Amino acid sequence: MGNVVREKSYGFALRMIKAYKYLSVSQREFVLSKQMLRSGTAIGALIREAEYAQSKADFVHKLSIALKEANETAYWISLLKDSEYMEETSAISLMNDCYELIKLLTSIIVTSKQSAK
């Protein structure tokens, strides 16, 4: 696994923290933003966990969970945008980063599954 997905997921987690701070302080929104924060920061944590996976299957499993968390994060971002707690430009920027992580994770998972055969 390259450092690209590790660095991008870490940067995305930092963006999630900043978005949560903004939403909780400026918008007084706590429930949806907390869900976004939880799933958005879990992506990088699971990627880091996968670095020390016990087997190829464990590696794929941990990255698959990270992929699920990324998909969930996209849902919370969409919900925050559509409920007008988050500005569209901010949401689109976050969504683009989230989809980039989804693409990277999908690619790594597919490649890892193929090389395991």
pLDDT in tens, 63-99: 999 999 999 999 999 999 999 999 999 999 999 999 9
Domain CATH number, residue 81: 1.20.1440.60
Predicted local confidence at residue 1, as pLDDT:
47
| Residue 65 in domain | yes
Predicted local confidence at residue 61, as pLDDT:
98
| Residue 21 in domain | yes
| Residue 117 in domain | no
How long a stretch of residues is the chain? Answer: 117
| Residue 116 in domain | no
Q: What is the mean pLDDT of residues 99-109?
A: 98
How many domains would you assign to the chain?
1
| Residue 89 in domain | yes
Contact 37, 14 (CB under 8 A): no
What is the DSSP secondary structure assignment for residue 97, as one 8-state letter? Answer: H
CA distance 79 to 32: 8
Whole domain around residue 69: which residue ranges?
3-110
